[in-house]
Amino acid sequence: MIKNFFRKENGSITLFVLIAMLFFLFVVFAMFMRSSNSNMAQTSEIDQIKEEYEESVNNINQIYNETLIENLSNLLKPGDFVNYTYDTVTDGYSLPAIYSGYTSDQSITQTMGLRWQILSINSDKTVTLISETTTNQEVYFRGALGYNNGTLLMNDICNKLYSNHSLKIEARTLNLDDIESQMNEAGISARDTFTNSSASQYRSTHTYTANYNYYPNLYAKENGSGINTTEIKSDGLSRSESGYNKPTTETFSVANQGLTATQTSYYFDNMPSSYFDNSEVYDLFFNTNTESCYWLGSRCANCYSNNIEFGFYSVRNSSLNGVFTYNSNSAVSTNTLYSFRPVVTLDITQIQPCTGEAADGTDETIKHMHQIKEYF
């Protein structure tokens, strides 16, 4: 009788057993879900703890970096010497005449032993260094070719000869933007009111026709130019942009319907130190104690009544000048040669300040210089 209670005659499981099995499975499932929920809660708690830890570490790192940068900014100042060493380049730099516009090819050797000083501590947490003196070799640029390629080549020469690739530090030539960024309101005001000997005021425009409307091809891409129009370009190249990815053999063109140019050249014989708030920075640019003539990698145009001079800004001792390679008067070319002042920019945290001594570069053992970390 008991046997029949649990089974039907055909041997199948009775309803009682089926219910018991379902109940057992429900209990197992409930235990599983409880365990699973517990594990999920633990995992969620662990993830939260991990996130809070990582946030704390990031906050600590941020506070440390901000404190480090603030301390470095207080310890470093313009004029300080930094023990920067550039890669040795034994083969120099070959500059073909087809790019420089000069009458022959030029071979430019690396100036050894250049010392470096802080030019600026920048808002983007970098430091810019400038060579203490000019390079010891002058380089020619001439004509429309010299104008078209000049900024590109100046930067490329300095990059090859004065960079440190293992430290990921790349050199370029000093340009007018570097100088103007250090000028005060009095200096900028003097620039804006400058007029040349033909009474062309800075940023004024002038239109030329007949035999006075020749221009280097790059000029058509520059801000302030107007080719066959009196409308000047405002969405083009700035004065310190190269304009080409590699040296070009393009020369000059003529604006048959008129060439409009903007007076972008200004110059100060014996640049007043009062145009700079920092005397150390002024001395870095305009060293009156040595013969210092060097290119700036920034183009300019000097507008006279019957012609335009195209060329580059330069520094000659205590004077800011323009040096010109090309003239709109029937495509006249002139030879111009100057040296370079290479500059490099590096992360401020790459510098290890010298302690207990002024970084004045007076000690030959480099004790009196800030150091650059090989790893940072």
**Residue-level pLDDT, tens digit, the chain, 376 residues:** 444 444 444 444 566 666 666 666 665 555 655 655 555 556 666 666 666 555 555 555 555 455 545 666 688 999 999 999 999 999 999 999 999 999 999 999 999 999 999 999 998 999 999 999 999 999 999 999 999 999 999 999 999 999 999 999 999 999 999 999 999 999 999 999 999 999 999 999 999 999 999 999 999 999 999 999 999 999 999 999 999 999 999 999 999 999 999 999 999 999 999 999 999 999 999 975 566 899 999 999 999 999 999 999 999 989 999 999 999 998 888 888 899 999 999 999 999 998 777 888 887 778 889 999 986 5
As a dihedral over the C-alpha atoms of residue 297, residue 298, residue 299, residue 304, rounded to 10 degrees, the angle is -120
* Cα separation values, 281 from 65, 260, 277, 303, Å: 27, 36, 8, 30
| HEC per residue, 49-116 | HHHHHHHHHHHHHHHHHHHHHHHHHHHCCCCCEECCCCCCCCCCEEECHHHHCCCCCEEECCCCCCCE
Determine the distance from the C-alpha atom of residue 351 to the mean position of all C-alpha atoms in its chain, rounded to a whole number. Answer: 18
pTM of the model: 0.82
Instruction: Check: CB of residue 6 under 8 Å from CB of residue 14.
Output: yes
Structure tokens at 312: 């580059």
Give the per-residue pLDDT at 7: 46
Three-state secondary structure call for residue 36: helix
Tell me how far apart the alpha carbons of residues 353 and 225 are, in angstroms, rounded to a whole number.
Answer: 46
Instruction: Check: CB of residue 99 under 8 Å from CB of residue 86.
Output: no
* Cα separation values, 11 from 64, 99, 204, Å: 79, 103, 110
Give the per-residue pLDDT at 330: 81
Among residues 92, 263, 245, which one has the least CA distance to residue 193?
263
Tell me how far apart the alpha carbons of residues 69 and 244 are, in angstroms, rounded to a whole number.
Answer: 36
Which pLDDT tens digit goes with each residue over 230-281?
A: 999 999 999 999 999 999 999 999 999 999 999 999 999 999 999 999 999 9
